[in-house]
Structure 1
Amino acid sequence: MGMKTKIALGAVVGIAVIGALSANAGDGDGDAKSDNRTSASAGEKTGGASEAKPAEDKADDKADDKAEDKAEEKASQAEQFKAFVQKNGTPKEKDAVSHVTKVQGADEQNDILDAADVYTDFTGGIMGEGTGPAKLIASSFADWKDSENGLVTIYDADGELLGNGQF
């Protein structure tokens, strides 16, 4: 009788732990989505205090912010990654990243198990010409994105593995 009780108690505790982890993971996703309020609504929530800027400047700032947000949304993950490396990378990193054709999974991070895929126009798989540059691409990706537990995988034009790295 004691062994059956221990197994049942262990199952209940396991289910409770899994439920708590999934609830915490859901909270993290909601925070990013719920922070889409305008500065006017933020001012109303703080008691209606307004900034020292005139109304015209506030409207101009909102328009500029919206234009920047739309430009970032329109740029693909690959374009954002290439732009970052062009600004911050070494000449060898810039050359390696110029072969990137597609990036997937870089925008969804939860610091539990983040995985991103980078596709290139190299050929030949792990024995081909892209193995060396793949390490540079993975290193550049780690500079661009930061995660507590992330893995970036680099693929060639045929979808064969070239390399991977942590970010």
Structure 2
Amino acid sequence: MGMKSKIVLGAVVGVVVIGAVSANSGDADGGSAGKGSSVSAQQQPGGADPGSGADAKPADGKTGDKSGAGKAAEKASQAEQFKAFVRKNGTPQEKEAVAHVTKVQGAEEQNDILDAADVYTDFTGGIMGQGTGPAKLIASAFADWKQSENGLVTVYDAEGELLGNGTF
């Protein structure tokens, strides 16, 4: 009787594990579909119907506050957004260093697991050139701009050579 109980218990555990795996993959697909539908609802005038007011308010309230600024921010490149942040909040040294930034990549895709951003500048000479000091300031200003559990920002010169890096 003990052997039969172990087999039945193993089968039940197997079914539960398979059910949990299939439910999680269904949530992931359903979650992305839900996000897509709420985005399209927000883009249309009067996006949500009056019957779903409680469910639609958090999404609308969260993006509604930034709707004008959000559209302008989407049009601006990541480098321009970064420069604007530093112009407003940075120290004079950071402002001077960030003026050399030409391109920022990876600042928008954050998952707090492994976030990596690249900042390109117009400095020359690689790690032995004049851009290594300002690169630390740029990395520091980037950390003020974006926060992540596990982010790494890398600063490059005009030829793609490493100048410095930092966490954010």
In angstroms, what is the RMSD of aligned CA positions? 3.1
Amino acid across the alignment from 1:94:
K
Instruction: Identify if the C-alpha distance between structure 1 residues 163 and 87 changes in structure 2 by more than 3 Å, giving closer, same or farther.
Output: same
* % identical aligned pairs: 67
Q: How does 1:71-150 map to 2 (within 5 A)?
A: 71-150=72-151
Residue 52 of structure 2 corresponds to residue 45 of structure 1 = yes
Structure with max Cα Rg: 2
TM-score of the aligned structures, taking structure 1 as reference length: 0.68
Instruction: Identify if the C-alpha distance between structure 1 residues 139 and 35 changes in structure 2 by more than 3 Å, giving closer, same or farther.
Output: farther
1:71 deviates by 1.2
- The answer for unaligned runs of 5 or more in structure 2 is 1-17, 58-63
How many residues are matched? 133
Question: How far apart, CA to CA, are the structure 1 residues paired with 2:54 and 2:157?
Answer: 55
- The answer for unaligned runs of 5 or more in structure 1 is 1-15, 51-61
1:70 deviates by 2.4
Instruction: Identify if the C-alpha distance between structure 1 residues 42 and 165 changes in structure 2 by more than 3 Å, giving closer, same or farther.
Output: farther
Instruction: Identify if the C-alpha distance between structure 1 residues 81 and 32 changes in structure 2 by more than 3 Å, giving closer, same or farther.
Output: farther
TM-score of the aligned structures, taking structure 2 as reference length: 0.68
